[in-house]
Amino acid sequence: MHSREQYLAALRKEYLRGGKKQKTRLLNEARKRTRLNRKVPIRKLARVPSAAADRPRRRVRGTRYGL
């Protein structure tokens, strides 16, 4: 799994700079190499990862007051 993420990270720079035809070619290649459904590489390549995405989100609950 780690090598798949490394491959997609390396491909992301080229994907973000490319036009529509180049993106299609890169997605087809990524799909063959990673054996993922087409939408998965689209989501992983289209957005730039942030440091906040690595941390789990904390759920803050509202305060409840009884009678």
Cα-Cα end-to-end distance for the chain: 52
Q: How big is the chain by its Cα radius of gyration, in Å?
A: 18
CA-to-CA dists, residue 11 to 2, 34, 38, angstroms? 14, 12, 15
DSSP letter at 1 equals -
**CA distance linking residue 55 with residue 61, whole number of Å:** 19
CB atoms within 10 A of CB 14: 12
Per-residue pLDDT tens for 40-51? 999 988 887 766
Please determine, for residue 52, whether its predicted confidence score (pLDDT) is greater than 90: no
- When pLDDT is cut at 50, 70 and 90, the band that residue 35 belongs to is very high
Q: What is the mean pLDDT of residues 9-15?
A: 91
Please determine, for residue 26, whether its predicted confidence score (pLDDT) is greater than 90: yes
Sequence spans of domains, the chain? 2-48
